[in-house]
Chains A and B, each alone.
Chain A
C-alpha cells in the first residue's frame, strides 16, 4: 500500500521537472542536536529510515548534542545551503531557547529555511497515582492552599516540559517549586517512587507509564486531546482555558537553500509521514505525524520565537 504511495509520489516528482534531477545525488546529513536515544533522535532516525526505503535516499544521523541543542543547531546554521545538511529542530532550538538564553549563537528565523514538521507531541502533566491528586482542579486547589509547597519535576531547566509548568503557574495563578532533572528517565523514576508528586514530561517517554497506570496523566498541554489517549483531557478542558504548548520536532535547512530543493524535501518527507505504517508507529510512540508546508512551518517557528519571551519574563527563568 505505502509502496504504491511512494511510487506515486516518485512518479509525480519525476514528471515535475528534469531540472531537479541533480538533487539529491549524495547522502543527506541530518544533524540531531541532542544525544542518541531521545525523542528527537528517534524521530529523525524513523524519517531517515523511511526516506531510504521509499526513495532510496540515504540520510545519516549526526548527533551533535550540547547546550540545549544550540551546538548542533549552530553547526547547521553555518552549513552550505545545498539541501545536504538538515537539522532536526525542536520547539526548544527554534522557540524557547531564543527567550531563555541571553545570547543565542544563531537566529532561529533568519538563519534557516524551514522544511516541515515531522511530528508534534503534547507535554503531559503527571502525578503519582498515590499522590491523592485526582485532577488538575485538585492540583490547583492544593497549590493555592500552600503556595510554593508543591514541587513539580521536569526534564531540564528551560526545556519545553519545564516551560509548560511555568506557564501553568502563570495562567492558573499558582505557585509551585520547579525541580529539574537530567532528562525524563530520572524524573519518571522519582515520580513513580513517590519522591516527587508532580511532573511534566514529553508524552513519548511517559506514555508507557500512563497506559500501564503507574502514573496518572492529569492533562495534555496541547489544544486537542491525544488520539490514542482519549481519556486524558487537555489543560484547557481541565480548567486552564487557552493553554496550548505543543512540543514539535521539525527539519530545517540552512537559509538560502534553493526553494525547489526545500519543496522536494518537503514532498518526500510528507509522503513518508503519510504512510499508514509510519503514522501508526508515531501515534503509538506518542506523537502526531506532521508534514505541514514549509511556509506553515516557518509561521510556527516565528510564532514560537515571539511567544516565549513574555512567559520567561514573567517567571524569571534565564539561562546564560
Chain B
C-alpha cells in the first residue's frame, strides 16, 4: 500500500512535468473536440496524430494518446443528449433518455448529470487500476468463451425491451439488429453472409454507420417534416437549469454506482468495450429501477447509468492493456502500437520495466479527468445554446460532419452510403413505431454471442453442458431463465384486470414528475 502511494506520488511527479502536462492537456482537448464531432472516430484521430508522437518521449506520447481516448468520451454525450445524434456508438444509448430530457427543457441537467457520472465512473476506473489491477486481471481470466456467450445472452434478453413501446416491436428490432450484425464474412469459415458480392460489406456493416444512421440521420429526416412545429430553438435555457437539483442528484446516485460497476466489469472482458458496457448498464438499470416506465421519457437513471458505465469502462480498458500488454479493443491496440514504435514492447512486464510510464499515465488520468470536468462544466451552457441554432443550419452542418466522420473510419465511401441507407430505413421504421435502440443492441451483442457460442462449443467438442459448468456462466444462464420467466409471468398478469394497489404505488412518482414539469415551465 505504501509502495502504491509512493508510486502514485512519483507518477504525479512525472505527469506534472511541464511537457507531459502539456501533452496531456493537448490530448484531452483534441479528444473532447472530436468527441463532439459526430462519427469522427478516435481511431482515425489517433492514427492521424501517431506520426507526431514519434519525435516525442514515450511518456508524453502515451499521455497524449490516452488523453484523446478518454477525452473523447466526455464530448460524446453532448450531441446524444441535445440532438439525439450519437457522435460515438458508446453514447447511443444515452439518446434514449437524454434527448427526451432536452425536449422537456432539461438538457442542461442531463449534461450536468452526465459530467458527474463521467467523473465518478472514470475515478472508479482509475482507483481500481491503482489498487486491484492484478486481482482484476485474474477475474478477467475467468471469462472464457462460455461466460462471455452467456453474458451476451443475458444482455440481449434484458435489453430486448430496452425502448419504450410495444415489447413485440422491441424484440423484432433486436432480431433485425442481430441479422444486420451477421452481415459480412463468417469468422470461422470465411463464408460471406448477406454481402451480395460487395467487398465493402465483407467486413460487415460499420457500427458507426448503424448508430449514426438509425439515430442521427433518421432523426434528421423526422425533423424535416416537423421543422416548423417542433423547433427547439425556442426552448429557454438558463444557467439555473443546468444545475441538477438535489432531487436529481439523489435520483442519479444509485444508477451512477451501478453503471460504474457494470462498466468496470465489461472493461475486463476482452472485446467488450464501452459500447456494450453502456447498453448492458442501461438494460440493467431499467430492470432494477423502481419506475421502469419512466425510461425513454427522460429518466435521469437512463442517462446517468450508461454514461458512468462508458467512462468506467474506458478507464478500465487500460487495466488489461497496461498490466498484460493485451489490448482490450482496437483503440488500445493502436496505443500499444504507438508504444512499440517508441521501442517499448508491450507485455506483462510493462509495469515493472517502465514504472515511469505506468504511474505517470495513471497520474495523468486524474489530471486529465479533472481538466475535462473543469473544461466541460462551464461549457455546458455554450453547448445548450447549440439548440438556438435553427435546424436549417444545424442539421446540414451535422450531416456534413457525419459524412466526414463515417468516411474516416475506413477511408471508404461505402461507409457513408451505408449510413444514408440505414438512416432512410430507420426513418421508415420510426414512422411505423419501431424504436431503433434495440437494433443497435442486437447489432452489438449478437455477433459476440454467436462468436463465443461457437467458440465455446468448439472447445467443449459440442458439449452444451459447457454453458453451465462454470459458476459464472451458470449464474448468467440462471438469470436469463428468471428474466424470461418473469416476463411471461408479468405478461400473463397484465391480461388480468389491473391491480389497484400497483397503480397507487406508481402515482407518487408520476406526481413528482408532473410537479417538476410545472416548476420548470414557471421558471
Contacts and interface: CB of A to CB of B under 8 A. Distances in A.
Interface stretch (B71-79, B113-121, B188-196, B258-266): B188-196
Contact of A180 (B140, B141, B188, B334): B188
Contact of B337 (A42, A70, A195): A42
B410 A209 contact: no
B78 to A, nearest CB: 26
A157 B348 contact: no
Given A35-B330, A195-B145, A64 B410 contact: yes
> Interface range on chain A: under 10, 10 to 19, 20 to 34, or 35 or more?
35 or more
B458 A212 contact: no
B349 interface: yes
Given A45-B51, A209-B347, A319-B190, A192 B324 contact: yes
Interface in A24-79: 35-38, 41-42, 45-46, 48-49, 60-67, 70-71, 74
A136 interface: no
B348 A209 contact: yes
Interface in A3-42: 35-38, 41-42
Contacts of A45: 50-51, 54, 341
Contacts of A315: none
Contacts of A192: 141, 324, 326
B47 A64 contact: no
B199 A66 contact: yes
B190 A320 contact: yes
Contacts of A238: none
A37 B191 contact: no
Interface stretch (A108-116, A183-191, A250-258): A183-191
Given A49-B54, A185-B333, A65 B410 contact: yes
A207 interface: yes
Given A42-B341, A62-B411, A196-B459, A209 B325 contact: yes
B144 A195 contact: yes
A318 interface: yes
A182 B187 contact: yes
A187 B345 CA distance: 18
A284 B343 contact: yes
Given A66-B203, A194-B141, A208 B347 contact: yes
A171 interface: no
A193 B325 contact: no
Contacts, number: 155
B104 interface: no
Given A193-B144, A284-B345, A67 B202 contact: yes
Contacts of A36: 43, 46-47, 50, 334, 337
Given A37-B330, A189-B326, A65 B270 contact: no
Interface string A138-162: 0000000000110100001110000
A180 B337 contact: no
Contacts of B348: 208-209, 212, 214
A157 B190 contact: yes
Contact of A177 (B144, B271, B412, B458): B458
Contacts of A158: 190
B199 A190 contact: no
A37 B341 contact: no
A290 B144 CA distance: 38
Interface string B340-360: 110101111110000000000
Contacts of A195: 144-145, 459
B461 interface: yes
A279 B325 CA distance: 23
Contacts of A151: 458-459
Contact of B455 (A157, A179, A193): A179
B376 interface: no
A64 B411 CA distance: 6
B199 A212 contact: no
Contacts of B189: 157, 319
A117 to B, nearest CB: 19
B200 interface: yes
B336 interface: yes
Given A36-B43, A192-B141, A67 B337 contact: no
Contacts of A182: 187, 271, 451
A318 B202 CA distance: 15
Interface string B44-60: 00110011001000000
Contacts of A188: 326
A281 B345 CA distance: 10
B336 to A, nearest CB: 7
B185 interface: yes
A284 B412 CA distance: 34
Nearest to B193: A320
Given A37-B333, A66-B202, A320 B185 contact: yes
A189 B332 CA distance: 14
B334 A37 contact: yes
Given A37-B327, A37-B336, A185-B270, 19 more contacts: A35-B334, A36-B46, A37-B47, A45-B51, A45-B341, A63-B410, A67-B199, A67-B203, A70-B202, A74-B199, A188-B326, A190-B144, A190-B145, A193-B142, A196-B459, A209-B325, A281-B343, A285-B340, A319-B189
Interface of B: 43, 46-47, 50-51, 54, 140-145, 185, 187-192, 199-200, 202-203, 270-271, 320, 324-328, 330, 333-338, 340-341, 343, 345-350, 410-412, 451, 455, 458-459, 461
15 contacts: A35-B330, A35-B334, A37-B330, A42-B337, A42-B341, A61-B51, A62-B411, A157-B189, A188-B326, A192-B326, A193-B143, A208-B325, A281-B343, A318-B190, A320-B185
5 tightest Cβ-Cβ pairs between the two chains A and B: A208-B347, A319-B190, A37-B334, A193-B141, A195-B144
